[in-house]
Homo-oligomer: A and B are copies of this chain.
Protein backbone atom coordinates (compact mmCIF):
# COMPACT_ATOMS: atom_id res chain seq x y z
CA UNK A 1 0.00 0.00 0.00
CA UNK A 2 1.34 3.44 -0.90
CA UNK A 3 2.12 5.77 1.95
CA UNK A 4 0.12 8.43 0.21
CA UNK A 5 -3.07 6.65 1.24
CA UNK A 6 -2.41 7.86 4.73
CA UNK A 7 -2.22 11.53 3.95
CA UNK A 8 -5.40 11.88 1.92
CA UNK A 9 -7.67 14.77 2.68
CA UNK A 10 -9.58 14.60 5.90
CA UNK A 11 -7.22 12.17 7.53
CA UNK A 12 -5.28 13.92 10.21
CA UNK A 13 -2.10 12.12 11.02
CA UNK A 14 -0.95 12.04 14.59
CA UNK A 15 1.95 9.83 13.76
CA UNK A 16 5.00 10.31 11.65
CA UNK A 17 5.82 6.62 11.46
CA UNK A 18 6.82 5.58 7.99
CA UNK A 19 6.09 1.91 8.62
CA UNK A 20 2.34 2.27 8.80
CA UNK A 21 1.68 1.38 5.21
CA UNK A 22 3.13 -2.09 5.78
CA UNK A 23 0.53 -2.94 8.39
CA UNK A 24 -3.24 -3.15 7.99
CA UNK A 25 -4.99 0.10 8.75
CA UNK A 26 -7.98 -0.52 10.99
CA UNK A 27 -10.74 2.06 10.93
CA UNK A 28 -12.43 2.21 14.33
CA UNK A 29 -15.79 3.81 15.09
CA UNK A 30 -14.78 5.93 18.08
CA UNK A 31 -18.40 6.50 19.09
CA UNK A 32 -19.50 2.87 18.88
CA UNK A 33 -20.37 1.15 22.14
CA UNK A 34 -22.26 1.63 25.35
CA UNK A 35 -19.46 3.45 27.14
CA UNK A 36 -18.71 6.25 24.67
CA UNK A 37 -15.31 7.08 23.16
CA UNK A 38 -13.08 6.74 26.26
CA UNK A 39 -12.71 2.92 26.27
CA UNK A 40 -12.59 2.85 22.45
CA UNK A 41 -9.68 5.28 22.38
CA UNK A 42 -7.98 3.47 25.25
CA UNK A 43 -8.27 0.16 23.37
CA UNK A 44 -6.98 1.71 20.17
CA UNK A 45 -3.99 3.22 21.96
CA UNK A 46 -3.20 -0.24 23.35
CA UNK A 47 -3.49 -1.78 19.87
CA UNK A 48 -1.35 0.97 18.36
CA UNK A 49 1.34 0.35 20.99
CA UNK A 50 1.48 -3.22 19.64
CA UNK A 51 2.15 -1.75 16.20
CA UNK A 52 -1.35 -1.73 14.72
CA UNK A 53 -2.32 1.25 12.61
CA UNK A 54 -5.61 2.68 13.80
CA UNK A 55 -7.84 5.30 12.19
CA UNK A 56 -10.31 6.67 14.72
CA UNK A 57 -13.57 8.06 13.33
CA UNK A 58 -15.69 10.48 15.39
CA UNK A 59 -15.97 14.04 16.70
CA UNK A 60 -12.40 15.13 16.20
CA UNK A 61 -12.22 17.38 19.27
CA UNK A 62 -13.54 14.68 21.55
CA UNK A 63 -11.29 12.01 20.10
CA UNK A 64 -8.25 14.27 20.36
CA UNK A 65 -9.10 15.11 23.97
CA UNK A 66 -9.26 11.39 24.73
CA UNK A 67 -5.98 10.78 22.91
CA UNK A 68 -4.35 13.59 24.89
CA UNK A 69 -4.70 11.40 27.99
CA UNK A 70 -1.91 9.23 26.59
CA UNK A 71 1.39 11.11 26.37
CA UNK A 72 2.77 8.65 23.81
CA UNK A 73 -0.25 8.92 21.50
CA UNK A 74 1.43 11.43 19.22
CA UNK A 75 4.17 8.93 18.44
CA UNK A 76 1.75 6.07 17.75
CA UNK A 77 0.29 5.07 14.34
CA UNK A 78 -3.09 6.64 15.11
CA UNK A 79 -5.04 8.92 12.82
CA UNK A 80 -8.37 10.70 13.22
CA UNK A 81 -11.18 11.22 10.72
CA UNK A 82 -13.78 13.72 11.84
CA UNK A 83 -17.42 12.64 11.91
CA UNK A 84 -20.06 15.00 13.20
CA UNK A 85 -22.87 12.63 14.07
CA UNK A 86 -23.44 9.49 16.13
CA UNK A 87 -25.87 6.59 15.83
CA UNK A 88 -27.08 5.61 19.28
CA UNK A 89 -27.59 2.10 20.63
CA UNK A 90 -31.35 2.67 20.70
CA UNK A 91 -31.67 4.29 17.27
CA UNK A 92 -33.65 2.42 14.64
CA UNK A 93 -30.86 0.80 12.64
CA UNK A 94 -31.82 1.28 9.00
CA UNK A 95 -33.51 4.65 9.53
CA UNK A 96 -30.60 6.12 11.47
CA UNK A 97 -28.07 4.92 8.89
CA UNK A 98 -30.01 6.66 6.12
CA UNK A 99 -30.82 9.80 8.12
CA UNK A 100 -27.38 10.38 9.66
CA UNK A 101 -25.03 10.25 6.69
CA UNK A 102 -22.33 11.92 8.79
CA UNK A 103 -22.52 9.41 11.63
CA UNK A 104 -19.21 7.91 12.71
CA UNK A 105 -20.01 4.41 11.48
CA UNK A 106 -21.16 5.67 8.08
CA UNK A 107 -18.02 7.77 7.72
CA UNK A 108 -15.98 4.73 8.75
CA UNK A 109 -17.60 2.58 6.06
CA UNK A 110 -16.99 5.24 3.41
CA UNK A 111 -13.35 5.50 4.49
CA UNK A 112 -13.06 1.73 3.97
CA UNK A 113 -14.76 1.91 0.58
CA UNK A 114 -12.47 4.78 -0.44
CA UNK A 115 -9.40 2.77 0.48
CA UNK A 116 -8.32 4.96 3.39
CA UNK A 117 -8.20 1.88 5.54
CA UNK A 118 -8.40 -1.90 5.23
CA UNK A 119 -11.06 -2.89 7.76
CA UNK A 120 -13.73 -1.35 9.98
CA UNK A 121 -14.32 -2.21 13.61
CA UNK A 122 -17.35 -0.86 15.47
CA UNK A 123 -18.83 -1.79 18.82
CA UNK A 124 -21.87 0.35 18.05
CA UNK A 125 -25.52 -0.52 17.40
CA UNK A 126 -24.97 -3.81 15.58
CA UNK A 127 -28.06 -3.56 13.42
CA UNK A 128 -26.90 -0.13 12.31
CA UNK A 129 -23.34 -1.30 11.61
CA UNK A 130 -24.79 -4.03 9.40
CA UNK A 131 -27.12 -1.62 7.62
CA UNK A 132 -24.29 0.87 7.15
CA UNK A 133 -21.98 -1.83 5.75
CA UNK A 134 -24.63 -3.13 3.36
CA UNK A 135 -25.58 0.37 2.27
CA UNK A 136 -22.05 1.64 1.73
CA UNK A 137 -20.04 -1.46 0.80
CA UNK A 138 -22.65 -3.80 -0.67
CA UNK A 139 -22.56 -7.57 -0.77
CA UNK A 140 -20.09 -9.94 -2.30
CA UNK A 141 -21.22 -11.28 -5.68
CA UNK A 142 -23.96 -13.87 -5.23
CA UNK A 143 -24.52 -13.35 -1.48
CA UNK A 144 -28.18 -13.50 -0.54
CA UNK A 145 -27.72 -12.23 3.00
CA UNK A 146 -24.57 -11.24 4.88
CA UNK A 147 -24.32 -12.82 8.33
CA UNK A 148 -22.64 -12.21 11.63
CA UNK A 149 -20.08 -14.86 12.56
CA UNK A 150 -19.50 -14.78 16.31
CA UNK A 151 -16.98 -16.77 18.26
CA UNK A 152 -18.07 -18.62 21.40
CA UNK A 153 -15.02 -19.66 23.42
CA UNK A 154 -15.04 -23.18 24.88
CA UNK A 155 -12.96 -25.29 27.24
CA UNK A 156 -10.76 -26.37 24.36
CA UNK A 157 -11.04 -24.32 21.22
CA UNK A 158 -14.04 -22.35 20.18
CA UNK A 159 -17.07 -22.50 17.93
CA UNK A 160 -18.14 -19.90 15.39
CA UNK A 161 -21.89 -19.27 15.19
CA UNK A 162 -23.24 -18.10 11.81
CA UNK A 163 -25.64 -16.30 11.75
CA UNK A 164 -25.29 -14.76 15.19
CA UNK A 165 -27.92 -12.11 14.62
CA UNK A 166 -27.95 -10.36 11.26
CA UNK A 167 -31.06 -12.10 9.88
CA UNK A 168 -33.90 -13.06 12.22
CA UNK A 169 -35.71 -15.05 9.52
CA UNK A 170 -33.77 -17.17 7.05
CA UNK A 171 -34.33 -19.78 4.36
CA UNK A 172 -32.26 -22.83 3.49
CA UNK A 173 -30.33 -20.96 0.77
CA UNK A 174 -29.20 -18.45 3.40
CA UNK A 175 -28.06 -21.19 5.77
CA UNK A 176 -26.11 -22.97 3.02
CA UNK A 177 -24.21 -19.75 2.29
CA UNK A 178 -23.66 -19.12 6.01
CA UNK A 179 -22.17 -22.61 6.27
CA UNK A 180 -19.73 -22.03 3.41
CA UNK A 181 -18.72 -18.57 4.63
CA UNK A 182 -18.38 -19.74 8.23
CA UNK A 183 -16.27 -22.71 7.22
CA UNK A 184 -13.99 -20.48 5.15
CA UNK A 185 -13.70 -18.00 8.03
CA UNK A 186 -12.61 -20.69 10.47
CA UNK A 187 -10.19 -22.16 7.94
CA UNK A 188 -8.53 -18.85 7.09
CA UNK A 189 -8.73 -17.07 10.44
CA UNK A 190 -8.33 -19.90 12.94
CA UNK A 191 -6.20 -22.18 10.76
CA UNK A 192 -8.52 -25.18 11.03
CA UNK A 193 -8.34 -27.49 8.02
CA UNK A 194 -11.75 -28.86 6.93
CA UNK A 195 -13.69 -27.27 9.80
CA UNK A 196 -16.49 -29.42 11.21
CA UNK A 197 -19.80 -27.79 10.30
CA UNK A 198 -22.83 -28.49 12.51
CA UNK A 199 -26.45 -27.48 12.05
CA UNK A 200 -28.01 -26.26 15.31
CA UNK A 201 -31.12 -28.34 16.00
CA UNK A 202 -33.37 -29.76 18.69
CA UNK A 203 -32.09 -33.28 18.13
CA UNK A 204 -29.09 -34.91 16.51
CA UNK A 205 -31.05 -37.21 14.18
CA UNK A 206 -31.54 -35.88 10.61
CA UNK A 207 -35.30 -36.22 11.20
CA UNK A 208 -35.18 -33.63 14.02
CA UNK A 209 -35.53 -29.92 13.45
CA UNK A 210 -37.93 -27.17 12.50
CA UNK A 211 -38.97 -26.71 8.87
CA UNK A 212 -35.86 -24.64 8.14
CA UNK A 213 -33.45 -27.21 9.58
CA UNK A 214 -35.25 -30.08 7.84
CA UNK A 215 -34.89 -28.26 4.52
CA UNK A 216 -31.23 -27.41 5.13
CA UNK A 217 -29.90 -30.70 6.52
CA UNK A 218 -29.96 -32.79 3.31
CA UNK A 219 -28.33 -29.98 1.34
CA UNK A 220 -25.49 -29.67 3.85
CA UNK A 221 -25.15 -33.46 3.85
CA UNK A 222 -24.62 -33.35 0.08
CA UNK A 223 -22.32 -30.33 0.19
CA UNK A 224 -18.54 -30.28 -0.13
CA UNK A 225 -18.28 -29.11 3.48
CA UNK A 226 -17.19 -31.29 6.39
CA UNK A 227 -20.77 -31.53 7.67
CA UNK A 228 -21.07 -33.37 10.99
CA UNK A 229 -24.87 -33.26 11.17
CA UNK A 230 -27.31 -31.67 13.55
CA UNK A 231 -25.85 -30.34 16.77
CA UNK A 232 -27.67 -29.81 20.07
CA UNK A 233 -26.89 -27.24 22.74
CA UNK A 234 -24.89 -29.63 24.92
CA UNK A 235 -22.65 -30.78 22.08
CA UNK A 236 -22.28 -27.21 20.90
CA UNK A 237 -20.89 -26.25 24.30
CA UNK A 238 -18.71 -29.36 24.36
CA UNK A 239 -17.00 -28.33 21.11
CA UNK A 240 -18.34 -30.99 18.74
CA UNK A 241 -18.13 -28.63 15.77
CA UNK A 242 -16.06 -25.65 14.62
CA UNK A 243 -18.88 -23.86 12.81
CA UNK A 244 -22.50 -23.92 14.02
CA UNK A 245 -25.03 -22.83 11.41
CA UNK A 246 -28.45 -21.39 12.25
CA UNK A 247 -30.81 -18.52 11.55
CA UNK A 248 -29.86 -15.20 13.14
CA UNK A 249 -32.65 -15.36 15.70
CA UNK A 250 -31.47 -18.69 17.09
CA UNK A 251 -27.81 -17.66 16.84
CA UNK A 252 -28.36 -14.45 18.74
CA UNK A 253 -30.28 -16.23 21.49
CA UNK A 254 -27.53 -18.87 21.69
CA UNK A 255 -24.73 -16.30 21.84
CA UNK A 256 -26.32 -14.23 24.59
CA UNK A 257 -27.49 -17.25 26.55
CA UNK A 258 -24.00 -18.74 26.53
CA UNK A 259 -22.73 -15.47 27.96
CA UNK A 260 -25.58 -15.30 30.48
CA UNK A 261 -25.14 -18.85 31.74
CA UNK A 262 -21.37 -18.53 32.10
CA UNK A 263 -21.88 -15.32 34.11
CA UNK A 264 -24.43 -17.20 36.22
CA UNK A 265 -22.00 -20.06 36.86
CA UNK A 266 -19.13 -17.84 37.92
CA UNK A 267 -21.53 -15.89 40.14
CA UNK A 268 -22.51 -19.19 41.77
CA UNK A 269 -18.86 -20.01 42.39
CA UNK A 270 -18.27 -16.51 43.79
CA UNK A 271 -21.30 -16.80 46.07
CA UNK A 272 -20.09 -20.21 47.26
CA UNK A 273 -16.65 -18.81 48.09
CA UNK A 274 -18.16 -15.94 50.07
CA UNK A 275 -20.49 -18.19 52.04
CA UNK A 276 -17.97 -19.30 54.69
CA UNK A 277 -14.82 -17.90 56.18
CA UNK A 278 -12.57 -20.85 55.32
CA UNK A 279 -13.99 -20.90 51.78
CA UNK A 280 -12.93 -17.27 51.49
CA UNK A 281 -9.36 -18.18 52.42
CA UNK A 282 -9.29 -21.05 49.92
CA UNK A 283 -10.91 -18.77 47.35
CA UNK A 284 -8.13 -16.23 47.79
CA UNK A 285 -5.54 -18.91 47.01
CA UNK A 286 -7.53 -20.11 44.00
CA UNK A 287 -8.31 -16.63 42.71
CA UNK A 288 -5.65 -16.41 39.97
CA UNK A 289 -6.69 -19.83 38.66
CA UNK A 290 -10.38 -18.92 38.66
CA UNK A 291 -9.71 -15.58 36.97
CA UNK A 292 -7.78 -17.45 34.29
CA UNK A 293 -10.68 -19.93 33.92
CA UNK A 294 -13.16 -17.06 33.62
CA UNK A 295 -11.02 -15.44 30.94
CA UNK A 296 -11.43 -18.49 28.72
CA UNK A 297 -15.10 -17.57 28.36
CA UNK A 298 -14.59 -13.82 28.27
CA UNK A 299 -15.75 -12.31 24.98
CA UNK A 300 -13.32 -9.44 25.51
CA UNK A 301 -10.46 -11.79 24.67
CA UNK A 302 -11.94 -12.71 21.32
CA UNK A 303 -12.29 -9.49 19.35
CA UNK A 304 -15.15 -8.63 17.08
CA UNK A 305 -17.53 -10.74 15.06
CA UNK A 306 -17.06 -10.42 11.30
CA UNK A 307 -19.96 -9.47 9.09
CA UNK A 308 -19.39 -12.09 6.41
CA UNK A 309 -20.70 -11.60 2.88
CA UNK A 310 -20.11 -7.85 2.52
CA UNK A 311 -17.54 -6.22 0.24
CA UNK A 312 -15.01 -5.45 2.93
CA UNK A 313 -13.65 -6.47 6.29
CA UNK A 314 -16.20 -5.34 8.85
CA UNK A 315 -16.00 -6.45 12.48
CA UNK A 316 -18.70 -5.78 15.02
CA UNK A 317 -17.79 -5.58 18.70
CA UNK A 318 -19.94 -6.24 21.74
CA UNK A 319 -21.85 -3.09 22.74
CA UNK A 320 -20.43 -3.30 26.24
CA UNK A 321 -16.85 -3.56 24.99
CA UNK A 322 -14.23 -2.09 27.27
CA UNK A 323 -10.71 -1.21 26.15
CA UNK A 324 -9.49 -4.82 26.10
CA UNK A 325 -12.32 -5.93 23.81
CA UNK A 326 -11.63 -2.99 21.51
CA UNK A 327 -7.96 -3.84 21.15
CA UNK A 328 -8.87 -7.50 20.55
CA UNK A 329 -11.22 -6.33 17.81
CA UNK A 330 -8.48 -4.28 16.15
CA UNK A 331 -6.15 -7.29 16.32
CA UNK A 332 -8.75 -9.64 14.78
CA UNK A 333 -9.50 -7.19 11.99
CA UNK A 334 -5.78 -6.93 11.26
CA UNK A 335 -5.51 -10.71 11.01
CA UNK A 336 -8.41 -10.74 8.54
CA UNK A 337 -6.70 -8.14 6.36
CA UNK A 338 -3.40 -10.05 6.43
CA UNK A 339 -5.24 -13.31 5.64
CA UNK A 340 -6.76 -11.60 2.58
CA UNK A 341 -10.13 -12.82 3.78
CA UNK A 342 -12.45 -11.14 1.27
CA UNK A 343 -11.35 -13.04 -1.88
CA UNK A 344 -11.60 -16.29 0.12
CA UNK A 345 -15.12 -15.37 1.18
CA UNK A 346 -16.02 -14.69 -2.44
CA UNK A 347 -14.76 -18.17 -3.37
CA UNK A 348 -16.81 -19.69 -0.54
CA UNK A 349 -19.96 -18.00 -1.81
CA UNK A 350 -19.33 -19.36 -5.31
CA UNK A 351 -18.64 -22.82 -3.89
CA UNK A 352 -21.96 -22.75 -2.03
CA UNK A 353 -23.67 -23.17 -5.39
CA UNK A 354 -26.66 -21.10 -4.28
CA UNK A 355 -28.16 -19.42 -7.35
CA UNK A 356 -28.45 -15.71 -7.08
Task: Give A contacts to B, CB under 8 Å.
Answer: 90, 92, 154-155, 165, 168-169, 200-203, 205, 207-211, 213, 232-238, 247-250, 252-269, 271-273, 275-276, 278-279, 281-283, 285-286, 289-290, 292-294, 296-297
Contact = CB atoms under 8 A, between A and B. Distances in A.
6 contacts: A200-B253, A257-B258, A257-B261, A262-B265, A272-B290, A272-B293
B293 A271 contact: yes
B209 A233 contact: no
Nearest to A265: B265
A108 B286 CA distance: 50
Contact of A285 (B203, B238, B267, B279): B279
Given A155-B271, A268-B293, A286-B286, A234 B263 contact: yes
A256 B233 contact: yes
A255 B208 CA distance: 16
A9 B252 CA distance: 54
Q: Which of A261, A271, A273, A294 has the most CB of B within 10 A?
A: A261
B200 A247 contact: no
Nearest to A239: B264
B259 A286 contact: no
Nearest to A257: B233
3 closest cross-chain pairs (CB), A and B: A237-B260, A233-B257, A233-B256
A210 B169 contact: yes
Question: Interface residues of A: mostly helix, strand, loop or mixed?
Answer: helix
Contacts of A154: 264
Nearest to A152: B261
A269 to B, nearest CB: 6
A238 B286 CA distance: 25
Nearest to A93: B207
Given A202-B252, A282-B285, A238 B263 contact: yes
A155 B267 contact: yes
Nearest to A240: B260
Contact of A293 (B202, B250, B254, B269): B269
Contacts of A256: 232-234
A92 B205 CA distance: 10
Contact of A237 (B165, B234, B261, B296): B261
Given A155-B268, A267-B155, A234 B259 contact: yes
Contact of A247 (B203, B210, B258, B259): B210
Contacts of A271: 155, 293
A250 to B, nearest CB: 6
A272 B257 contact: no
A263 B92 CA distance: 38
A279 B268 contact: no
A247 B169 CA distance: 14
B293 A286 contact: no
Given A168-B209, A237-B264, A282-B283, A269 B257 contact: no
A83 to B, nearest CB: 25
A260 to B, nearest CB: 3
